[in-house]
Amino acid sequence: PPTWRRARPALIADALKRASARPSGNWFVVGASRDVRAGGRPYGRTVGGVEVVLWRTDTGELRAGPGVCPHLGAPLRDSRVVCGTLVCHWHGLTLDGGPFAGWEPYPVHDDGVLVWVRLDAVGGEEPSERPAVPARPRPGAGVDAVFTAVGRCEPQDVVANRLDPWHGSWFHPYSFVDLSVVREPDGDDGDAFVVDVSFRVAGRLVVPVRAEFTAPDPRTVVMRITEGEGVTSVVETHATPLTAEGDPAPRTAVVEAVVATSGRRGFRLARAAA
């Protein structure tokens, strides 16, 4: 049988354990940078059971905080942004992004592709100044696309699934015709799965690449192409919990960011064909 069908639960469990032990600094990916637009509507998300609202000032700076109005609880995602200020649609309370009437902003970070929010009460770890953004092709050299799906599972289920090279959905939704594991992770020294895989692009064209899979934090898996078509391209999978910890019906947003090097159409075509 093809090598990727070999079941290696212990290896995956070990890799997941090491990923879970890495710090996240309480940063959570909430969506694509381009989805929070200056002059646009506020952007609302639930993270770990907490309502979060984001918007931009007229100059494009990000603002984030609780998604519930401190006056009488209106959902701020349904409010308007006027000249960079959030105006509650119930009774007109205004928020410029600074603390006001018990509303305390959340630290927020725009890495150019994704927006991250730091939620210390949800993460429960030591906070860090900035999220650990994976290395990507340099700005302007790549084309990026961000997709979000919601799964009925915990973030660690998503990470375990993406970390399993013998599991076909690792490459979901890219269709591949062959996969062999070149190197398995061996503890903290060289902690990556290295695989040779051929993507089927646009039905017929087959593109062989070598790719490396790592889990830099408890909720992120990064696939980086290290040899072949689209070298240095990355596919990041960020698993952001929507429900609070311990919820009997957990849901997780799977935010997938593809940053492919310019002129390399494999990823985009594969995605379009999926």
Which chain residues interact with ligand FES by CB under 6 A? 69, 71-74, 88, 90-93
**Least Å distance between CB 267 and ligand FES?**
43
Complex with ligand FES: residue 90 or 231, whichever CB lies closer: 90
**Shortest spacing between CB 82 and ligand FES, in angstroms:** 14
Q: Which is nearer to ligand FES, 93 or 160 (CB)?
A: 93
Nearer to ligand FES, 34 or 80 (CB): 80
Minimum CB–partner distance for residue 102 and ligand FES (Å): 12
What is the closest distance, in whole angstroms, from the C-beta atom of residue 79 to ligand FES in the complex?
A: 8
Question: Nearer to ligand FES by C-beta: 17 or 91?
Answer: 91
Phi and psi, residue 162, nearest 5°:
-70, -25
Give least dist CB 78 to ligand FES, A. 10
Does residue 238 contact residue 158 with C-beta atoms inside 8 Å? no
Nearer to ligand FES, 71 or 251 (CB): 71
Nearer to ligand FES, 68 or 133 (CB): 68
Closest separation in Å from C-beta 42 to ligand FES: 13
Cβ-contact 30, 46 below 8 angstroms? no
Give whichever of 9 and 73 is closer to ligand FES, judged by the CB atom.
73
CB of 91 to ligand FES, least distance (A): 3
Q: Which residues contact 212 (CB under 8 A, 6 or more apart)?
A: 192, 193, 194, 195, 223, 224, 226
Both tokens of 176, joined, read 């591949």
